[in-house]
Structure 1
Amino acid sequence: MNDSPGWATPGSSPSDDRSGRDGQGSQGSGSEGAGGTQPPAQPSDDPRWSAAQPPPGQWSNPGTEAPAPTQAPQPQQGPGWGSPGQQPGAQGGPPYGSPYGGQYGNQYGPYGHPGAPWGPPAAAKPGVIPLRPLGLGEILDGAVSTMRSHWRSVLPITLFVAVIVQVFGTLVQKYVMADLETYPGRGSAIDLSAGDVAGYVALTGATYLVQILGTILATAMLTMVFSRAVLGQPSSVAGAWRESRSQLPRLIGLTLLVGLALIAAAAVLVVPAILLESVGLAFLTLLVVAPIVVWLGVALSLSSPALMLEKSTVFKAIARSWKLVKGSWWRIFGITLLTGIITGIITGIIYYPLSMIGIFGFGNGLDSVMDGSASQSWGFLIFGGVALIIAQTITMPIQAGVTVLLYVDQRIRREALDLDLARAAGVDTATDPHPGAAPGHGG
């Protein structure tokens, strides 16, 4: 998205101006994201607004003849707030469709828009999300909608990464870890040795390294797919690779740096308990370490999309994430936690039935489970690996999509990114203050 306006860091600091209005983010940012700038104090001075607004004093009640062709269109009339049979506006109240309210309001009114009396104002939706501050349901729906509408790009990326990771892990578990004495199998006692421990740690580290690198690759490419989905633009695997490959080294460095920071934060508190060999102190430090690690993880959770979409450096991306999350930590934590629970449930639903089929259909059943040999049977490894490939193919884009959309949502709330995105998507916010779906763009 380097060629598309809107993703770069703003030259000024608009987030400082709007960050204190999170409590009003749904209305304030929504009206800005949907409607562009407010009309000038004197509409006649601006030809764009003088052509769209009626002359002063010519607003009329419904049922009367329209005063001029330039008058704003009135929404369909409906029952009023007054007594039955009373004409709207008969008691001096605002008529239906006035720019300042009424029962149903209109696109200029503060209470809603046509078709949704108490909902947020109409907003441009060139892609998978409306360009205004997002709710939880809209973020999750945007992630799923991108998977559905851009599956030709999403599916090959996640499937390729999931297959590589699971094939490597399955081969290591079958042919390498079973030969290590530190690997509990067949009910035998574990005879610890320095060589076995070192081998086990090295292989485990290699497995996790492959998984981390695969996740980084998928995250980088999916970020580009989701950024185009927000604008309603088509995407391809080749295009996502071209746009993301220049930032891949930095994303790897960012991931390693954040991981080391979390490990260091935990080690500083855990090492004293290990040295003193105190179970009570270890439990106490665990209660302290867990909140710190979670807090840092959420504070840095938006650094990856900031790095990829703003083409920034590692430390600038960390600073951007810290700034965007500030003041919204609990909201981002809750959405991230809920996403993790949803993806965990999906993984469990897919994995456990297939792995049980592998154990009982192609293994030794409960006996292999009891003596520990089930984890080495081909039935368990193959069916479990296939289950994890399917689960990761589904859950990986959901997690990546929620992270990207959280980043977009925070920038809309703090920096009016919706205006830049609307212009990039071809929506003319100057002449169409409250557009619906932009023509020519699909979600």
Structure 2
Amino acid sequence: MNDSPGWASPGSDPSEGDRPQQPAQPDRSGDPGRTAQPGEPGTKWSAEQPPAGSGTPRDGVWGNPGAGQTPPPSSTPQPGTGWGSYGGRPGQTPSGSPYGAPGGWGKPPAAKPGVIPLRPLGLGEILDGAVTTMRTHWRSVLPITLAVAVLIEIISLTLQRTVLSGYAVVPDESATPEEAFKALGDSMVVSMADSFIQLVGSVIVTALLMMVFSRAVLGRPSSVGDAWREARPHLLKLAGLTLLLMAGALAIAVVLMLPGALLDSAGLVALGAIGALVLIAWLWVKFALAAPALMLERGGVVTSLRRSAKLVRGAWWRIFGISVLTSLITGFVAMMIVSAFAVVGSLFTDEGVSGFVEGTSTDSWAFLIIAGIGAVIALTIVMPMQAGVTALLYIDQRIRREALDLELARAAGVEGYGTTPGTAPPATGS
């Protein structure tokens, strides 16, 4: 069995009339303490489950559900085993239990070959998995993020001292409203330039770190060379996906704000901006899992967008909350690091800390270099954290919807995972 990480591209969905009958499987996104019954009100049933052996890592990818194949037994424990009571008296362990945990009430320990347990994940487990991967596999994570962060800062610093040097980011106290408006526009130009540079760098980091995280889930080491070889064929597609999402967000903002601008109505512009923000946020979450789907399933841009929409369906608020919380945490950490280095850098200027507060320290090379070092450190911490949370959210949704934990357990060599006592494990591919 080839156990290299990755996921295969999704099989084509058969039409409702041609879809073969398959055993009903419970939606893993609900309460794991019970097994739902078919036809029960409020119960969601996955239309497709991964077939036996299809998800076994083969040729560098992991399979995802295909059409017309028999699904493997769900890892949701059957009566007498699993998440809740084992069916015996408290303290008893049933013979041959795949979990090996004591009986009684409570969630038994799941197999954990890598950085996460193979079951639906909670918020803490997703954050912990991202941090654990950064700490355990730092030999792969650190060189990738550090090299990209240094490159980003060098390009950004060069642009600030050359092309963007004429832009007045901070207006004078006695500036007229027109001058203040021009300074605001200049500030937006500088911010957009920095954001575009960081976007390009994040595309490279995301592509490489997805490979590192896919191996970390199985408990396998990875190297920078391995990550580069696996990610390189898909960099252009990931860049196209990122640019498509950015262009879509920009188009939405222009379309909704343009009527107010044409009518010279500040109220309509503000209303359009609010509507654009809400719509962009909704689409941002809907397509949040497109990048890991593209990199790990090896599909195209449009296929990855559809895949993300399918995985996010019914879990929008959960993914939104985890993504926002991650952004707040990483943003706060980055701000603290950059601010500390900026204050230190301002001490090497003629204006001192007052120059940093007034925004005039940016003319000093000493300030820019020291502040740039802080930005490199911040990016080195922030980028792998964000990429890791996105990758683990993708894996978590596939565990909940498609019983991916069975395939991961087989790939990691976990014996008898997801089988009931007295039954043989599902057959896997060669």
Coarse TM-score class (shorter-chain normalised):
0.7 to 0.9
Greater mean alpha carbon deviation, residues 369-378 or residues 288-297: 369-378
Q: Aligned partners of 2:196 and 2:103: how far apart in 1?
A: 50
Query: Cα deviation per residue 1:193-235 (whole Å; 9 max; x = unaligned)?
Result: xxx9999988766544332221100000000000000011110
Relative to structure 1, the CA distance from residue 203 to residue 184 in structure 2 (aligned partners, 3 Å threshold; closer, same or farther) is closer
Q: Aligned partners of 2:6 and 2:107: how far apart in 1?
A: 23
Could you tell me which residue of structure 2 aligns to residue 331 of structure 1?
318
Offset, 1:175: 3.3
- Whichever residue aligns with residue 276 of structure 2, its letter is V
Offset, 1:12: 7.6
Q: 1:277 pairs with 246, 264, 268, which one?
A: 264
Gap regions ≥5 residues in structure 2: 14-20, 37-48, 51-71, 422-430
Q: What does 1:160-175 correspond to in 2, within 5 Å?
A: 160-175=147-162
Q: Aligned partners of 2:23 and 2:294: how far apart in 1?
A: 20
Relative to structure 1, the CA distance from residue 286 to residue 27 in structure 2 (aligned partners, 3 Å threshold; closer, same or farther) is farther
- Whichever residue aligns with residue 355 of structure 2, its letter is S
Q: What does 1:42-441 correspond to in 2, within 5 Å?
A: 99-104=86-91, 106=93, 114=101, 118-178=105-165, 180=166, 182-184=168-170, 207-369=194-356, 372-429=359-416
Q: Is the 8 A contact 1:351 1:388 kept in 2?
A: yes
Offset, 1:325: 0.2
Q: 2:73 pairs with 37, 43, 55, which one?
A: 37
Counting aligned pairs with the same residue, the percent is: 47
Q: Is the 8 A contact 1:98 1:109 kept in 2?
A: no
Greater mean alpha carbon deviation, residues 267-276 or residues 278-287: 278-287
Runs (4+) of structure 1 moved beyond 4 Å?
A: 9-21, 25-29, 107-110, 115-118, 181-192, 196-207, 430-434
| Aligned: 1:7 with 2:14 | no
Offset, 1:158: 0.4
Q: Aligned partners of 2:160 and 2:313: how far apart in 1?
A: 42
Query: Cα deviation per residue 1:281-324 (whole Å; 9 max; x = unaligned)?
Result: 12222222211111100000000000000000000000000000
Q: Aligned partners of 1:200 and 1:98: how far apart in 2?
A: 60
- Whichever residue aligns with residue 265 of structure 2, its letter is S
| Aligned: 1:24 with 2:11 | no
Gap regions ≥5 residues in structure 1: 40-52, 54-71, 73-96, 435-443
Q: Aligned partners of 2:313 and 2:358: how far apart in 1?
A: 50
Q: Is the 8 A contact 2:29 2:120 kept in 1?
A: no
Query: Cα deviation per residue 1:121-180 (whole Å; 9 max; x = unaligned)?
Result: 3321110001111111110010000011100000000000100001111122123322x2
Q: Is the 8 A contact 2:149 2:380 kept in 1?
A: yes
Q: Is the 8 A contact 2:206 2:387 kept in 1?
A: yes
Relative to structure 1, the CA distance from residue 306 to residue 98 in structure 2 (aligned partners, 3 Å threshold; closer, same or farther) is closer
Offset, 1:361: 3.9
Query: Cα deviation per residue 1:349-385 (whole Å; 9 max; x = unaligned)?
Result: 2111111111134441255246642122223212211
Q: Aligned partners of 1:295 and 1:277: how far apart in 2?
A: 28
Greater mean alpha carbon deviation, residues 392-401 or residues 180-189: 180-189
Could you tell me which residue of structure 1 aligns to residue 42 of structure 2?
none
Greater mean alpha carbon deviation, residues 16-25 or residues 376-385: 16-25
Q: Aligned partners of 1:375 and 1:417: how far apart in 2?
A: 50
- Whichever residue aligns with residue 150 of structure 2, its letter is V
Query: Cα deviation per residue 1:387-442 (whole Å; 9 max; x = unaligned)?
Result: 111111011111000000000000000001111111111123269769xxxxxxxx
Q: Secondary structure at the match of 1:422?
A: helix
TM-score (norm 2): 0.75
Relative to structure 1, the CA distance from residue 187 to residue 198 in structure 2 (aligned partners, 3 Å threshold; closer, same or farther) is closer
Q: Is the 8 A contact 1:358 1:383 kept in 2?
A: yes
Q: Secondary structure at the match of 2:29?
A: helix
Larger radius of gyration: 1
Q: Is the 8 A contact 1:265 1:293 kept in 2?
A: yes
Q: Is the 8 A contact 1:25 1:413 kept in 2?
A: no
Query: Cα deviation per residue 1:90-112 (whole Å; 9 max; x = unaligned)?
Result: xxxxxxx99414334646899x9
Relative to structure 1, the CA distance from residue 330 to residue 167 in structure 2 (aligned partners, 3 Å threshold; closer, same or farther) is same
Q: Is the 8 A contact 1:300 1:322 kept in 2?
A: yes
Offset, 1:244: 0.4
- In the comparison of the two structures, how many residue pairs are matched? 369
Offset, 1:335: 0.5
- Greater fraction of residues in helix: 1
Relative to structure 1, the CA distance from residue 312 to residue 114 in structure 2 (aligned partners, 3 Å threshold; closer, same or farther) is same
Greater mean alpha carbon deviation, residues 267-276 or residues 319-328: 267-276
Q: Aligned partners of 1:99 and 1:136: how far apart in 2?
A: 26
TM-score (norm 1): 0.73
Q: Is the 8 A contact 2:28 2:120 kept in 1?
A: no
